[in-house]
Amino acid sequence: MADDKNTANTSPFPEGYQPQSRRERREMEEYFARLAAEKAAAEKAAAEQSAVAKNAEREETTDEESAADVETTKDFSEMTPKERRKAKRAEQAELTYSQAQEEGRLGEWLWVQAREGGTVILYALVIAFLVKTFLLRGFYIPSGSMEQTLQVNDRVFINVAGSYFSEPKRGDVIVFKDSQGWIPSTQKTSSPLKDALSFAGILPDTSSNFLVKRVIGTPGDVVESDGNGRIKVNGVEITEPYLYPGNNPSEVPFKVTVPAGKYFVMGDHRSNSADSRYHISDGTAFISKDDVQGNVFVVAWPLNHFGLLQDQSSVFSSIPAPTSTPSE
């Protein structure tokens, strides 16, 4: 439109002009014919230029596709060993069951499926192992020594990551390895398959090599009982709301000082818990920090028991710090 307007403005014949003679009429006709020819030539040149550009683009695309075809159809003899393996795997990945049947390659198809499935399983095991080692780990509760806090057959999770940055405190429920032989050998069972799955983190740990108790004394604490149902820590009597209903805090008299790097633990179901109190005489009453796997923080199964464990640190809030440095 801009070109037409410009042409009209510069035309020697104003719009609506009527020729005054035959000569002027002829000149007008020749002038407008020339304009029409020039416009047609310009449009033709533009069309030809557009066609050339499209052809060039089409040829470039064709060249790229041809190069790709040459690359993918390269003879095996021209490929490096790495390229051969890559090409073979790409071809196998596209192999369907029906195609394998037709070509007599069922064995190859089955091997590909097994390989791919095995890779997925391997990744799942690695991820589960890393989660179990550095984040969370599941355990199975086989006995009633921690009732009512934990029930028989509960599945619980411990905070593995937290154990790397903090130490157990009074009131924590911990899982620890039985490195001192608290569990009688007659009660220890083992299943290679379950042990392997537990080790990988697929199943909660059901082995009989771990125990769960509540921390009552930390390094340097003096823990004692007069045997008449009272527990004192550093000379201060504590009231324990988590005890199994009807149980006294302790009917066993004792007095111990917790060594450095150790913990004094007791079950919440005191009348059904062979805890630190019962191992004082044989010298295995205290749990080493190295044996602590982590703090129990949630009951995950069954669903009617699901919930976070209540923080019981307030039970020990009035306990003074130890008066002496704990010995080794």
What's the confidence (pLDDT) of residue 188? 55
Cβ-based neighbour number of residue 201 at 10 Å: 22
Strands 173-177 and 254-257, by their bridges, are unpaired
Class of domain 137-316 (CATH, top level): mainly beta
Lookup result for tokens 């039985």: 178
pLDDT, tens only, 252-285: 999 999 999 999 999 999 999 999 999 999 999 9
User: 266 φ, ψ to 5°?
Assistant: -145, 150
Confidence of residue 195 (pLDDT cuts 50, 70, 90): low
As a whole number of angstroms, the distance between CA 321 and CA 325 comes to 10
Instruction: State the chain's maximal CA–CA distance in angstroms.
Output: 140
Confidence of residue 11 (pLDDT cuts 50, 70, 90): low
230-251 mean pLDDT: 95
What's the confidence (pLDDT) of residue 145? 95
What's the confidence (pLDDT) of residue 280? 95
pLDDT, tens only, 287-322: 999 999 999 999 988 889 999 999 999 999 999 999
Tokens at 36, concatenated: 């029409």
- pTM summary value: 0.60
As a whole number of angstroms, the distance between CA 39 and CA 129 comes to 77
How long a stretch of residues is the chain?
A: 328
Confidence of residue 250 (pLDDT cuts 50, 70, 90): very high
Domain boundaries defined on the chain: 22-73, 82-132, 137-316
Q: Where are the extended beta strands (E) located within 116-261?
A: 136-140, 155-159, 173-177, 210-217, 222-225, 231-233, 236-237, 254-257
- Name the residue type at position 1: M
DSSP string, 272-290: G---GGGGTTTT--EEEGG
What does the buried/exposed string (b/e) look like for 71-104 if buried means 16 or more CB atoms within 10 Å of the residue's CB? eeeeeeeeeeeeeeeebeeeebeeeeeeebeeee
